[in-house]
A and B are shown apart, each in its own frame.
Chain A
Amino acid sequence: MIRFRIIKRKPLPGWAKIVIPIAAILATLILSAIPILMAGGHLWKSYYYLFYGALGTRFNLLETFVKASPLLLTGLAVAFAFRAKFWNIGAEGQLLAGALAATVLGVNLGGVPQPFVLPIVIIGGFLAGGIWAAIPAILKTKLKVDDVVSTLLLNYVMIHIMGALLFGPLQQPGSSWPRSAAIIKAACYPILLPRSRFHMGILIAFFVVFVIWFINQRTTFGYRSKAVGVNIRAAHFGGINTTSVIIWTALISGGLAGLAGVGELCAIQYRLIMDISPGYGYSGIVIAMLGNLHPVGVLFSSLFFSVIIVGAQTMSRMTGVPSYIAEVIQGMSLMVMLIFLLFTEYKIKVMKK
Chain B
Amino acid sequence: MSELLDIAFISGLIGATMRMATPIIFATLGEILSERAGVLNLGIEGIMLMGAMTGFLVTFTSGSIWLGVLAGAGVGMLLGLLMAFLAVYLGLSQHVSGLGITLFATGLAMFIYRLHFGSPTVPPIIQPFKQITIPLLSEIPVIGPGLFTQYSLTYIAWLLIPALSILLYKTKIGLKIRTVGENPVVADTVGVNVLLTRTLCLVAGGALMGIGGAFLTLAHQNMFLIDVIGGRGWVAIAMVIFGNWDPLKGAFGALIFGFLDALQLRLQGLGIAVSFHIFLMIPYLLTIVALISVSRKASIPASLLKPYRREEKGG
Given contacts A149-B241, A157-B284, A161-B281, contact A143 B292 (CB under 8 A): yes
With a cutoff of 8 Å between Cβ atoms, the chain A residues found around residue B237 in the complex are: 149, 152
Contact between chains at B281 and A157 (CB < 8 Å): yes
Q: Which chain A residue shows the least CB distance to B107?
A: A327
Contact between chains at A148 and B103 (CB < 8 Å): no
- Docked Cα-Cα span, A153 to B312, in Å, equals 39
Given contacts A145-B291, A156-B231, A351-B315, contact A326 B107 (CB under 8 A): yes
Best-surrounded residue of B105, B291, B296, B315 (most CB of chain A within 10 A): B291
Chain B 223-263 near chain A by CB (<8 Å), digits 1 or 0 = 00000000100100110010000000000000000000000
With a cutoff of 8 Å between Cβ atoms, the chain B residues found around residue A139 in the complex are: 288, 291-292
Contact between chains at A149 and B315 (CB < 8 Å): no
Contact between chains at A322 and B114 (CB < 8 Å): yes
Which of the 9-residue segments A19-27, A46-54, A258-266, A329-337 touches chain B?
A329-337
Contact between chains at B103 and A331 (CB < 8 Å): yes
- Docked Cα-Cα span, A24 to B29, in Å, equals 35
Contact between chains at B95 and A87 (CB < 8 Å): yes
Which of the 9-residue segments A94-102, A162-170, A213-221 touches chain B?
A162-170
Given contacts A160-B278, A335-B104, contact A144 B295 (CB under 8 A): yes
Interface check B185, CB cutoff 8 A: no
With a cutoff of 8 Å between Cβ atoms, the chain B residues found around residue A283 in the complex are: 103
With a cutoff of 8 Å between Cβ atoms, the chain A residues found around residue B140 in the complex are: none
The dominant DSSP class at the A interface is helix
Q: Which chain B residue shows the least CB distance to A140?
A: B295
> What class of interface size applies to chain A in its complex with B?
35 or more
Interface check A339, CB cutoff 8 A: yes
Contact between chains at A335 and B86 (CB < 8 Å): yes
Contact residues of A with B, CB < 8 Å? 5-7, 35, 38-39, 87, 89, 139, 143-146, 148-150, 152-157, 159-164, 167-168, 282-283, 285-286, 289, 322, 324-332, 334-335, 338-339, 342, 349, 351
Contact residues of B with A, CB < 8 Å? 42, 46, 86, 90-93, 95-97, 99-108, 110-111, 114-115, 231, 234, 237-238, 241, 275, 277-278, 280-281, 284-285, 287-288, 291-292, 295-296, 309-310, 312, 315
